[in-house]
């Protein structure tokens, strides 16, 4: 339950103090580039560690084994996002192209592991849906659908030189809010159980 406000506050503050960084346009991963990039790298690694602990806790508490593994997949994706720096995208850092045509190895790994994290969390929403009341099921399915849609919209925006290029950061922040809130509610439910 701690990782959501910690991760979110860190990227919000880091984005607010970075010159030329536009939070509603640029991805959170771009904060790992340039001076002060270590803050976002540490943010990813801390979130990965806490999410891994949560996955182990779910497993030990007897939650859905597939669900616990999928939350672990989310954690592995966060770890990869921290270990492998993204390539510049959406024109950040200043002077870089909107989209890198030939990604670096680190950038390709960052993208692949981030995609694995997004897919794992989407699947986890559906796996945990039947494990409670109809309200919890609706919340989980709705979160999974909205998370997948906003991730797809942010990816399309970051990969485009035209519309919706200016909205990528906005869509990504919505998807992250959905992810972290759903995980916090799952943690609260697991703690109560």
Looking at the structure of the chain, the number of domains it has is 1
- Answer yes or no: is pLDDT of 84 > 90: yes
178 torsion bin: left (phi>0), alpha (psi -120 to 50), beta (else): alpha
19-34 pLDDT, tens digit per residue, is 889 898 889 999 999 8
Q: What is the helix (H) or strand (E) element at residue 76, kind and residue range?
A: helix 65-83
The angle that helices 105-128 and 65-83 make with each other, rounded to 10 degrees, is 160
Buried b (16+ CB within 10 A) or exposed e, 139-173: bbeebbebbbebbebbbebbebeeeebebbbbbbb
What confidence tier does 1 reach under pLDDT thresholds 50, 70, 90? confident
Q: What is the spatial distance between Cα 88 and Cα 10, in angstroms, rounded to a whole number?
A: 20
Candidate from 6-10, 110-114, 129-133 with smallest mean pLDDT? 129-133
What confidence tier does 100 reach under pLDDT thresholds 50, 70, 90? low
Strand segments (E) across 28-106: none
Determine the structural domain holding residue 176 and report its residue range: 3-192
Query: Residue 121 in contact with residue 147, Cβ under 8 Å?
Result: yes
**Mean pLDDT on 160-169:** 73
Query: Residue 52 in contact with residue 74, Cβ under 8 Å?
Result: no
Residue 59: how many other CB atoms lie within 10 Å: 16
């Amino acid at each position: 339950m701690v990782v959501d406000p910690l991760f979110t506050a860190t990227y919000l503050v880091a984005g607010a103090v970075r010159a030329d960084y536009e939070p509603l346009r640029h991805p959170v991963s771009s904060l790992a580039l340039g001076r002060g990039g270590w803050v976002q790298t540490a943010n990813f690694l801390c979130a990965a560690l806490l999410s891994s602990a949560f996955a182990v806790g779910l497993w030990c508490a007897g939650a859905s084994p597939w669900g616990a593994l999928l939350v672990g997949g989310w954690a592995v994706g966060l770890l990869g996002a921290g270990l492998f720096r993204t390539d510049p995208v959406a024109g950040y850092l200043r002077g870089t192209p909107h989209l890198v045509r030939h990604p670096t190895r680190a950038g390709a790994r960052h993208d692949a592991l981030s995609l694995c994290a997004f897919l794992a969390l989407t699947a986890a929403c559906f796996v945990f849906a039947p494990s409670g009341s109809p309200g919890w099921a609706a919340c989980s399915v709705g979160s999974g659908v909205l998370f997948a849609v906003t991730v797809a919209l942010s990816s399309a925006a970051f990969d485009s030189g035209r519309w919706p290029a200016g909205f990528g950061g906005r869509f990504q922040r919505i998807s992250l809010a959905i992810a972290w809130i759903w995980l916090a509610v799952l943690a609260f439910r697991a703690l109560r159980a």
